[in-house]
Each structure stands twice: as C-alpha cells, then as structure tokens.
Amino acid sequence: MNNLIKGEKHDWEMVIGLEIHAQVKSNSKLFSSSSTKFGSSPNSQVSLVDAAMPGMLPVINKYCVEQAVRTGVGLNAKINNYSVFDRKNYFYADLPQGYQISQYKYPVVGEGKVTIDFKDGTSKDIRIVRLHLEQDAGKSLHDQNPSKTYVDLNRSGVALMEIVSEPDIRTPDEAGMYISKIRSILMYLDTCDGNMQEGSLRADVNISVRKPGDEYGTRCEIKNLNSIKFIKQAINYEAKRQIEILESGGSIEQNTMLFNTSTGKTRPMRNKEEAHDYRYFPDPDLLPLEISQEEIEEIKSSIPELPDELKNKFIKIYKLSNYDASVLTADKQTSDYFNKSINSDPELKNHAKIIVNWITSELFSLLNKNNFELINSPVPPENLGQLVKLICTNEISGKIAKEVLEDMFSTKKSAREIVDKKGLKQVTDQGEIEKVIDEVIADNQKMVEQYLDGKDKLLGFFVGQAMKLTKGKANPKILNDILKEKLNKKD
C-alpha cells in the first residue's frame, strides 16, 4: 500500500501518534462523589473537593480504577500493580486546585496494542504506550457575559483515561480507524460511552513528516479534536503545512496547535515563552495505587467478548471475510444486531454474508437517511432475519425485498406480514410464468425477430416486460430459463 504523499520535490511520509482522552463511564468523579451526568445546570455537580475548598482531600474512586484496568485488559496491555498519582501544576480559571491530578511516571496501564483492519483484508497493529487516569478540568464560559468569564465546575474532577499510542500511524485514514477501534473497544467494555459530540472521547494528535526511511521529524501536537472527520482534516492540513515549510528549506518548530473547525486550518496555541513547566510530583494527599494480581484476574474474568475475538468467531463460524467481520464487530450495536438476527432462525446460519449485506448496506442507508441509531431501528433484528429468509427461500426477489424493507421501516410491520398483505410472494409456478412469457412474445414479434438476428442484449427487454406483467414477482431465475428456452425454440 502506498501511504506516501507527493510534495513539490519528493514524497513524504506522515508519522502520527494519538493521545486519546476517554471519559470513564462512572456515576461519580475520580476523587469525589459528585455526579458526572452530562448537561446538568452549571455548578450543580460540584463537591467541596471539586471546588478545591481549603482542607479538602481527594479520595480515589475504586470503580474508576477498575474501569481503567478493564480498558487496559481490552487493549491487550500490561496492568501495573503499582502506580502513582502526580500533580500537574498550572494555573487556569477552570482548574480549581491549581493542579490536575494525573499519572506521570507510573501509569496504571503499560504497553499494549490494538489491530486495525483494512478493506483489502490486511491489518496492522498500533502499539499503545500507556494508559493513565487523570482528572478533567472545569469549563470556562466566555460567551455568557460581555466582560466576564464564567466557570462551570460540573466537569471538574471527572475521570479521564488518557490512552497514548506509539507513532505507528501513517495516514489520516489509519488515524480514523485507530480511534474508531479504540472507541469500539471502550464501548464493548462499557468503560466509556464513546460520545464524541459530548466530548466523552477526544484526541490530541502528534504529527511529523519525513522522507521515507529517514529519522522521525520534529512533531507538532494538535489539541482537543472531537470528531474523526476533524482529526483527518487536521492531519491533512498540518502535514501539508509541514511539508511546505520543509520543502522551502525551513524547519519545523515543535509546537502545540489548535485546529479551527470552520477554516480547516491549524494554528499555534501558545508561544515558547508561555511554555509550561508542570512541576509534576507525586500527590502527597494520595497513597500509591496498588492493585493485586487477584484483583486484576477478577476483572479479566468479567471482561465481555471484545471486537477482535468476536471478529475471529464470526470468521470461523459464518465464514465471513476479515473485512466483513471487522465491519460487523466495529460497533457493539452492530454485532449484537447481527447476532440476534442470524440466531432468529436456524436456517439463516448459512446465509451470514447476505445478512451482513442487508445490515451494512440497505438497513444502514435507511437509518442514515432517517437519522436513526441502530439501537432504535424500527426494524428489529428478528424481522430482518425473516426478510433474509424470504429471500433465501426464493419467496421474494432481492428487488422486492428492498421495497419490503422500506415498508418494514416505515410501518414497523414484519416482512411476512407485508409480503402476504401486498401479495408480493414470488411467482415460481412454471405454468404461470410460461403464460406471461407467451404473452410477451406474442406482443413483441418485431423484437423477437431482432433477437433471433443476433441482438442477444434484447433478452433484458423481454425480462423487463415479463416482470412488469408479474409486478416484479416472477422468480428471475425461472423467468430467465423459460424465456431463453422459448425464444431459442423459435429459431
């Protein structure tokens, strides 16, 4: 695969690493018992600890630690029995303590890896450097008053997992696939709700460019991207910017960038003089975090089936391709839907590929068009299974099935009900089809002559006419066979 991008002078390769910030799915914050509910009125979920009142102390929320360990297991990563919370010191209005409690030298989770799958059937491992727990900051609201900034501390202290990858990513697409894969794993594990719009999942992108084979170039970090589309856009823009600088003889200054979603451009966030010295040191209010091997094993044993396991299972049981299986398992909703669908009738087992197609193309396009999530699909998985069964048993044709599905979608009725009520059952009766064909031949003598003169393509015309007369219900194979037979007899 060619991952290189053309510059004016030569080809360049992107080197990309991601830091994903995933909000831990937990009812309460990392070091306090305040609620983490999204969208509550400002400062309604703030404890004395979150507001950093004098003498208030953090107490670790064990559930958040378990969630991090669970995530670590899902990322095939090493879980550290000993980790330490550090303070990252800096001043900001929405950082009440004047420091963020994070993990610096000793993260709770060490090296791991995730696999991304390409359309061509190949796949690639992206290595994870670490995962650590940290507190989120509050929110500064600059648009509530012409001269004042307001601070909302609801988010202050909410637990985040920062997942850091090695610079193993080479294209914007890979970056997108990587973050989708992480999101998928988190959602399977139920350790993060994966909601990028609400900011539950966001990423910082580190990117540099180099001539293939060269050492890594100087990188820039693009902060706080909250959609896959923006991540790709930002990478493309930033890579182009860096290449232009390098090709005109300049050099890249290591910098932190912000991405403007309306212009599609990156710009430096702060200059060098403002560079922070975070003065990390172990938080003396907290003891080191110790997790026993037994606790880790217990968490491991409670881990649900993850996308890669499920993918391999689907490949094995249903003989699906690697790519189909990975599309199906990318999202827990999709794999759940597929599972329910295929298990709704024992005869469907051998028609997995057809079910995949009907889910990922027809159903998805209907859902998209109508702004539905799969979980709220008006067509329940059992009904889709029934529809596929009707196709596989030749009761309806694929073309009719599309109409039926649209009907099912809008009326919420079952496939069988619609087919019966509308009389859409495929005509497979030989005699009936023959009758129709005779009629078509009789009505179109001129065309028959042309066909017999060698214009084979006209076969389609006769099929069309016959279908029209049967309202599309004729079994296409039988129709074709009889038609050919009859026409050729005339010869």
Partner 1 sequence: MSKSSLKQTLQDLESKKISIRELNQDYLKRIKEKENLNVFIHFSEDNILKQIDNLEKDNSTKKLKGIPIAIKDLFCTKSMPTTAASKILQNFNPTYESFVTQKLLDEGSIFIGKTNLDEFAMGSATNTSFFGNTINPLSKENEPLAPGGSSGGSAAAVAADLCLGATGTDTGGSIRQPASFCGVVGIKPTYGLCSRWGIAAFASSLDQAGIFSHNVEDASILLQSIAGFDQRDSTSAKVDIPNYFENLDDDLNGKTVGIPKEYSIDGTPMEISQIWEDAIKVLEKKGVEVKNISLPHTKYALPTYYIIAPAEASSNLARYDGVKYGFRSDEIDSLDAMYENTRAQGFGREVKRRILIGTYVLSAGYYDAYYLKAQKVRKLIADDFNKAFKECDFIVTPTAPSAAFPLNEKQSDPIKMYLNDVFTVPASLAGLPGISIPFGKDKNNLPLGIQILGKHFDEQQVFNVALSLERSYE
> Can you give the binding site for partner 1, defined by CB under 8 A?
48, 51-60, 87, 89, 91-93, 96-99, 149, 151, 277, 279-281, 284-287
Nearer to partner 1, 255 or 465 (CB): 255
Nearer to partner 1, 97 or 255 (CB): 97
What is the spatial distance between Cα 139 and Cα 152, in angstroms, rounded to a whole number?
5
Q: Quote the least distance from Cβ 95 to partner 1, whole Å.
A: 9
Nearer to partner 1, 146 or 460 (CB): 146
Q: Quote the least distance from Cβ 277 to partner 1, whole Å.
A: 5
Q: Quote the least distance from Cβ 92 to partner 1, whole Å.
A: 8
- Using DSSP, state whether 255 is helix, strand or coil: strand
Q: Quote the least distance from Cβ 157 to partner 1, whole Å.
A: 13
Nearer to partner 1, 139 or 240 (CB): 139
At a CB cut-off of 8 Å and minimum separation 6, what does 134 contact?
A: 30, 88, 100, 101, 102, 103, 159, 160, 162
Is there a contact between 257 and 220 (Cβ–Cβ < 8 Å)? yes
Q: Quote the least distance from Cβ 206 to partner 1, whole Å.
A: 20
Nearer to partner 1, 99 or 230 (CB): 99
Q: Quote the least distance from Cβ 279 to partner 1, whole Å.
A: 4
| DSSP state at residue 76 | T
Nearer to partner 1, 133 or 363 (CB): 133
Q: Quote the least distance from Cβ 140 to partner 1, whole Å.
A: 9
Q: Quote the least distance from Cβ 313 to partner 1, whole Å.
A: 43
Nearer to partner 1, 147 or 293 (CB): 147
Sign of CA dihedral 232, 237, 242, 246: positive
Nearer to partner 1, 52 or 374 (CB): 52
Sign of CA dihedral 134, 220, 217, 13: positive
Widest pairwise Cα distance in the chain: 101
Is there a contact between 195 and 201 (Cβ–Cβ < 8 Å)? yes
- Decide the pairing of beta strands 11-23 and 289-290: unpaired
Q: Could you write out the DSSP letters of every residue in 329-383?
A: HSSHHHHHHHHHHHTT-GGGGGGHHHHHHIIIIIIHHHHHHTT--GGG-SS-HHH
What is the residue whose two structure tokens read 């959609």? 227
In 3D space, the residue among 208, 206, 207, 203 whose CA is nearest the CA of residue 225 turns out to be 203
At a CB cut-off of 8 Å and minimum separation 6, what does 1 contact?
A: 118, 120, 122
Nearer to partner 1, 153 or 415 (CB): 153
- Using DSSP, state whether 115 is helix, strand or coil: strand
Q: Quote the least distance from Cβ 305 to partner 1, whole Å.
A: 36
Q: Is 159 exposed, middle or buried (0-12, 13-18, 19+ CB in 10 A)?
A: buried
- Using DSSP, state whether 178 is helix, strand or coil: helix
